[in-house]
């Protein structure tokens, strides 16, 4: 698949020090783009940006990093005043579902105010091309599968509501001013890491998602994985999700940018980024055990409130219109996840500085 970006020269990436952001920034640099990353490092480390620069080789000269909170309008103004951006990829946001239920205002303030501030500054500087990180969570507990971009939407928690609201804000922006060209990308479940093992997922605090937890059990940072629910109407009773390799997801952003730059008919468009395949928790654990040679002890618990039973994507719209399709399966996802974990058992930190340890 040839995704060469010809027109997308200068790209601002919010949240570019984070998990998906760092992988996407690397792809953008390798495509020849100039990339400015803004991130407040709330859930990430500057080391990720340094590693991306190293992996980018000669292209590292095209990468700039600013430690900025996107709600800080003045700081964002300065960044836009210094560079004329062709597009923005907006990853910055808080993403822990459970925390969003406990601290809804934190989520509304960060994700909504952050996005509105960004859109305001973009408008002033006449940069009106945006790629936004939405989520499969907007499908709630779907009645029909696979989820197509036309499936009904419902949010099951404040985090999901921020995604739905931001999607609506983007549709309204385009409706009010057709110069806005926006891609809303609904990610399914990103896992794995860059094959180098130098960048990967390293959330601060106790992870929420399945694979960072599996990984921490494998390297001895946690005693066991708690499986949330084994009474679902699925093949083995555990929840089913559409896991997608983070490198495939990063490529999906390149494809979306390419479309944004090359197709004059683009308005505000939605695309699912997934593989179209459903995998259960137990299947994922088995694949990881095979890839790592490590036994993952399991503790079975009740269902996690707000969890859907089964979620997987229809990928045909992205395949047809973005000319993009995920290449990797769960074997490669687990292989690369383990490569990252075994090379970096404490993520970007050391045992002394990492705050995701069992005792914290």
Residues that bind ligand NAD (CB under 6 A): 14-15, 17-21, 39-44, 69-71, 91-95, 110, 114, 133, 135, 187, 189-190, 209
In the complex, the residues that contact ligand UDP under the rule CB under 6 A are 189, 208-210, 213, 225-228, 239, 241, 281, 304, 307
- What is d(CA 254, CA 246) in angstroms, rounded to the nearest whole number? 13
- What is d(CA 179, CA 200) in angstroms, rounded to the nearest whole number? 35
Residue written as tokens 């940006």? Answer: 49
CB of 150 to ligand NAD, least distance (A): 19
Nearer to ligand UDP, 56 or 94 (CB): 94
CB contact burial 277-310 (16+ within 10 A = b; e otherwise):
bbbbbbbbbbbbbebbebebebeeeeeeebebbb
Which residue lies nearest ligand UDP, judged by its C-beta? 239
CB of 357 to ligand UDP, least distance (A): 16
Which residue lies nearest ligand NAD, judged by its C-beta? 18
Looking at 159, 243, 271, 348, which residue is catalytic? Answer: 159
Nearer to ligand UDP, 119 or 211 (CB): 211
Please give the structure tokens belonging to residue 262. Answer: 């090359």
Q: What are phi and psi of 138, to 5 degrees?
A: -70, -10
DSSP category for residue 6: S
133 binds, among ligand UDP, ligand NAD, none (CB under 5 to 8 A by kind): ligand NAD
82 binds, among ligand NAD, ligand UDP, none (CB under 5 to 8 A by kind): none
278 binds, among ligand UDP, ligand NAD, none (CB under 5 to 8 A by kind): none
DSSP string, 162-230: HHHHHHHHHHHHHHH-TT-EEEEEEE-EEE---TTSSS----SSS--SHHHHHHHHHTTSSS-EEEE-S
Residue 243 annotated to the active site: no
Residue 214 · residue 295 · CB < 8 Å: no
15 binds, among ligand UDP, ligand NAD, none (CB under 5 to 8 A by kind): ligand NAD
CB of 191 to ligand NAD, least distance (A): 8
Evaluated on CA atoms 116, 120, 122, 127, the torsion sign reads positive
Nearer to ligand NAD, 7 or 106 (CB): 106
């Amino acid at each position: 698949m040839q995704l060469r970006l010809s027109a997308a020269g200068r790209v601002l990436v919010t949240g570019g020090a984070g998990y998906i952001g760092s992988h996407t920034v690397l792809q953008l640099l390798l495509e020849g783009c100039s990339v400015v990353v803004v991130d407040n490092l709330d859930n990430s480390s500057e080391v990720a940006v340094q590693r991306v620069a190293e992996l980018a080789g000669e292209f590292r000269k095209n990468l700039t990093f600013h430690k900025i909170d996107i709600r800080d309008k003045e700081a964002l103004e300065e960044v836009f005043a210094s560079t004329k951006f062709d597009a923005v990829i907006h990853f910055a946001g808080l993403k822990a579902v459970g925390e969003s239920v406990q601290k809804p205002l934190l989520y509304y303030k960060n994700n909504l105010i952050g996005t509105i501030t960004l859109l305001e500054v973009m408008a002033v500087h006449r940069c009106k091309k945006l790629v936004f990180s939405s989520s499969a969570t907007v499908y709630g507990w779907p009645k029909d599968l696979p989820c197509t971009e036309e499936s009904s939407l419902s949010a099951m928690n404040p985090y999901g509501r921020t995604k739905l609201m931001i999607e609506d804000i983007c549709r309204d922006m385009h409706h009010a001013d057709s110069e806005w060209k926006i891609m809303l990308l609904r990610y399914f479940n990103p896992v794995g890491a860059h094959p180098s093992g130098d960048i990967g997922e390293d959330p601060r605090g106790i992870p929420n998602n399945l694979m960072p937890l599996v990984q921490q059990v494998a390297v001895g940072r946690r005693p066991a994985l708690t499986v949330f629910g084994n009474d679902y109407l699925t093949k083995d009773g555990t929840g089913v999700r559409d896991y997608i390799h983070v490198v495939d997801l990063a490529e999906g952003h390149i494809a979306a940018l390419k479309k944004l730059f090359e197709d004059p008919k683009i308005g505000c468009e939605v695309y699912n980024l997934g593989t179209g395949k459903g995998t259960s928790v137990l299947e994922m654990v088995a694949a990881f055990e095979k890839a790592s040679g490590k036994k993952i002890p399991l503790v079975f618990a009740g269902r996690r409130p707000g969890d859907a039973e089964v979620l997987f994507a229809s990928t045909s719209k992205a395949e047809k219109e973005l000319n993009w399709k995920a290449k990797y399966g769960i074997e490669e996802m687990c292989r690369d996840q383990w490569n990252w974990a075994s090379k970096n058992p404490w993520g970007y930190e050391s045992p002394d500085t990492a705050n995701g340890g069992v005792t914290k």
